[in-house]
Structure 1
Amino acid sequence: MQLYNTLSAEERAELIDSSGKQRLTLSFYAYSKIENPKEFRDNLFLAWNNLEVLGRIYVAAEGINAQLSLPADHFYAFKDSIEIYDFMKGIRLNVAVEHDDHSFLKLTVKVRDKIVADGLNDDSLDVTNIGIHLKAKDFNDLLDNPNTIVVDMRNHYESEIGHFVNAITPDVETFRESLPIIEEQLQEHKEDKNLLMYCTGGIRCEKASAYFKNKGFKNVYQLEGGIIEYTRQIKAEGLESKFIGKNFVFDHRLGERITEDIVSQCHQCGKPCDNHTNCENEGCHLLFIQCDDCKQVMENCCSVECRDVINMSLVEQVKLRKGIKNGNMIFRKGKSDKLLYKNSGDLSDISLAIAAKPKDIRQKIKIKKVLIGKGEHYYPKPQVALFLIENGELKIGDKILISGPTTGNQEFILEKMLINGKDSQSAIVGNKVTMSLPFRIRLSDKLYKILD
């Protein structure tokens, strides 16, 4: 009985591309008492693995929190699979504003103590005593009320690229940090102001509203379905969006555009930009905002030091990290002295630029190709790439495609290649081929031969 992933992310991406199926990205949550979270987890994995569901799901004794993707033609079978549980019958599924076939590349279902890490003692908190849920129109109306205080319940790296106008945006890295900070900040307005909250999909506000009501706040409201559902409603009803910029999402997309406004800057050069990236150095992996120009110059890194590291051999990089207990510190979200244009806390509602017309983000196959090999190494000084041939034959004159998350898609005619340092007209399975390339390749890059 398979209860875990057996394919790598790269293998899964290739299967998605070759299937030609469009995938939906969606999220949902539900609070309910679950007697045996481990058994519940295993049952979900078995059912969803058969439906080609991919994503990150947390289950606990208090309920479920899920972000996932699935083939569009499996949507109703998926609904049937969750509605066998009474507490998920008729549950709202927040369908993403934008879809990407590669938003998730594995299925992870984990048992946790809580479905959202809030740091609260639920024994002393009535989690059913929550705030009033508001749909988009009512939310907009209350937002315009001068007696309203609107609070972003997300973290600083989320709010920086997009937020509601006039919102309080706490400079925090975790949800649990924000609760006492907001309570202290709004201490004098427990009875005379409307406390209006929002988050990505609604789950954080569900706990936060109970927390603030428990702390004596009288008029507590929350955005139903979060920013995702708000966006769907304003489009369907032709309403004005009071949210500006991008909505940060926790998958490979790292954001979906709500309005064309760019309200943040590249953390390295200050140019208007709202595209997040993770530092290429595996010993850093910092999440930060980086424009295309800096991405090219800095090779997807947050600093010159990290760029130097990724240009070392893999053996040297591993040796450099050995014995260093980084833990979760390497995953800090956009907090680094190297980032000169980082903004958090008190954010502006002013648009710095208008986003270019988005490209088609669906990664469907547009050309016929066959996978030939994979990237092994890149030597930056001579600008030479090494590939291992794993399938078929590669010949001089072949039209090839080198593809990867950072490299993108690079097509060209193969004019020269070397095997064991010698010119060769063809390469077969098992050969290690080097070729001169003006761009850096990664270990995850794939080498394809384009077919006529």
Structure 2
Amino acid sequence: MQLYNTLSAEERAAMIDNAGKRRLTLSFYAYAQLQDPTQFRNELFLAWNALEVLGRIYVAHEGINAQLSLPADHFYAFKKTIEKYDFMKGIRLNIAVEQDDLSFLKLTIKVRDKIVADGLNDDKLDVTNIGIHLKAAAFNTLLDDPNTIVVDMRNHYESEIGHFVGAITPDVDTFRESLPIIEEQLANHKEDKNLLMYCTGGIRCEKASAFFKHKGFKNVYQLEGGIIEYTRQIKEEGLDSKFIGKNFVFDQRLGERITEDIVSNCHQCGKPCDEHTNCANDGCHLLFIQCDDCKELLENCCTYECQETTHLPLDEQVKLRQGIKNGNKIFKKGKAEALVFKKASGIKLFSSEKPQKREEIKPKLTKTYIGKAQHYYTKSSIGEFLIEDKEINIGDTLLIKGKTTGEEIFVLESMFILKKEEQVAKKGDRVSFKLPFRIRLSDVLYKLEK
């Protein structure tokens, strides 16, 4: 009986591409009293693995917290697998704002002490005594009330790229850190202010509202379904979004665009930017905000030291990172100025002074958006794109960019439209050409010019 993954992320990505099925990314949570979390975990794995569900799920005696993706045509079969449990009947499923077929590449279901690491050991805390749930319209109204204090229950690296206007955004790495800090800061307003909270999907507010009510706060409110559900409701009802920027998500996408506002800056040069990058050095993998110019200059690395490391032979890189565990620093993405973890570690931050041993600088290129990937034909190694803007010609230098694909630059030597070889592809054309690498449906096509 298989109760674990047998495929690598790369193999799974290839299977998803070959299947050609649209996938849904969604999340949900439910508090309950589970007598045997391990048995529950195993039942879910067997049912969901058969439905090609992928994701990161935590179960505990107190319930379930799930972020996952599945083929769209398996959605109703999936709902049946969860609604067989009484505590999940009629549960709200938060559908992602932006869809990406490769948002998750493994099915991981773990048994934990808690479904949210809150650091609380108070046996008297009643997790069912929660705040008042508000839908988007009511949330907006209360947000505008001068008697309201709105608090972001997420971590600093989430709120940095997007938040509600006027929100308090705690400078913390973890949810457990924020609870005592907020309690102390708002200790004088337990009765005279409205405490309004929000998070990504609602689960952290569920625990936080119970905590603050337990601590004596009288007027406690929370955003129902979190930012994900809020975004759906404002679109359906034509409401103004009080949330600005991007909503950080813990999957391959790393963020969902809610508004066009850019509220954060590149951690290296300071330009307006809200795109996260995983440092390309396998011995680091720090996740931080990096603009396209810095990404190009430092080749997806957080420092010149890491960039130099990526140019070493693979066996030397492996030796350098032996015995070093970097898991706890991945999400220390730069409180305040830039790359705080790196600063504390004594490693120089990015500066205008480039090391003498790397004098070569890539020529500056202008990047023009062209279109999006539509399909990849594995057997013939052909990628298909929809031209949404401008045009491309034989001899153009093109860039294909994606979360999994990375950045691939090549010169277009031949292309086909409706199986006919052409010299020019214009807006509205579906163009295909041979590629020496695999592309994904989330990949974007650009033209590069000096």
C-alpha deviations, 1:249-270, integer Å up to 9, x for none? 0000000000111111111111
TM-fit CA distance, 1:281: 1.2
Aligned position for 2:406? 407
Aligned to 2:144: 144
Task: Find the counterpart in structure 2 of residue 156 from structure 1.
Answer: 156
Which residue of the partner structure matches residue 121 of structure 2?
A: 121
Q: Give the Cα–Cα distance (whole angstroms) in 2 for the partners of residues 47 and 103 of structure 1.
A: 20
Does the CA-based 8 Å contact 2:149-2:193 persist in structure 1?
Answer: yes
Q: 1:329 to 1:371 in 2, by over 3 A?
A: farther
Q: How far apart, in 1, do the equivalents of 2:94 and 2:174 lie?
A: 22
Q: Does 1:267 align with 2:252?
A: no
> For the structure 1 residues 218 and 413, does the alpha-carbon distance in structure 2 shift closer, same or farther, using more than 3 Å as the test?
closer
Helix, strand or coil: the match of 2:115?
coil
Give the superposition deviation at 1:277. Answer: 1.2
Aligned to 1:370: 379
SS for the counterpart of 2:65 is strand
Q: Deviations over 1:62-109 (max 9, x none)?
A: 000000000110000000110000000000000000000010011000
How many Å separate the matches in 2 of 1:226 and 1:413?
Answer: 44
Give the C-alpha shift of residue 447 in structure 1. 3.6
Residues 26-45 of structure 1 deviation map (CA, whole Å, 9 limit, x = unaligned): 00000000111111001101
- Residue aligning to 2:186: 186
Contact 1:202 1:225 in 2 (8 A): yes
Is this contact kept in 2: 1:283–1:330, CA < 8 A?
no
1:238 corresponds to 2:238: yes
Match of 1:90 in 2: 90
Would you say the 8 A contact 1:202–1:223 is kept in 2?
yes
Partner amino acid, structure 2, of 1:108: T
- Give the distance between the partners of 1:340 and 1:244, measured in 2 at CA: 28
Unaligned runs of at least 5 residues, structure 2: 335-339, 352-366, 382-398, 415-434, 440-450
The CA deviation string for residues 216-242 of structure 1, in whole angstroms up to 9 with x for no partner, is: 100000000000000000000000000
SS at match of 1:35: coil
SS of 2:91's partner is coil
1:448 and 1:54 mapped to 2: Cα distance? 21
Aligned residue number for residue 358 of structure 2: none
Cα contact 2:304–2:350 (8 A) shared by 1: no
Q: What letter is aligned with 1:6?
A: T
Aligned length: 377
Unaligned runs of 5+ in 1: 342-355, 373-400, 416-444
CA distance in 2, matches of 1:359, 1:128: 51
* 2:287–2:330 CA contact under 8 A, matched in 1: no
**Residue type of the partner of 1:368?**
Y
Distance in 1 between the 2:153 and 2:370 partners?
A: 30
Q: 2 CA distance for matches of 1:205 and 1:17?
A: 36
Structure 1 residue 409 displacement after superposition: 4.3
In the alignment, the residues of structure 1 paired with residue 132 and residue 369 of structure 2 have an alpha-carbon distance, to the nearest angstrom, of: 36
CA distance in 1 between partners of 2:43 and 2:370 (Å): 38
The two structures have a TM-score, normalised by structure 2, of: 0.79
Residue type of the partner of 1:100?
D
Please state how far the C-alpha of 1:330 moved relative to its aligned partner: 5.1
Matched, 1:168 2:168: yes
Residues 192-233 of structure 1, C-alpha deviations (whole Å, 9 max, x = no match): 000000000000000000000111100000000000000000
Q: Could you tell me how far 1:323 is from its partner in structure 2?
A: 3.2
1:21 — aligned with what? 21
* Kept after mapping to 2: 8 A contact 1:402/1:446: no
Partner of 1:215: 215
2:32 corresponding residue in structure 1: 32
Q: How far did 1:358 drift? A: 9.3
Matches of 1:140 and 1:168 in 2, distance apart? 16
Matches of 1:257 and 1:59, distance apart in 2? 29
Q: In percent, how many aligned pairs have the same letter?
A: 75
Q: Which residue of 1 aligns with 2:50?
A: 50
Aligned partner of 2:57: which letter? Answer: I
Q: Does 1:2 align with 2:2?
A: yes
Deviation (angstroms), 1:448: 5.8
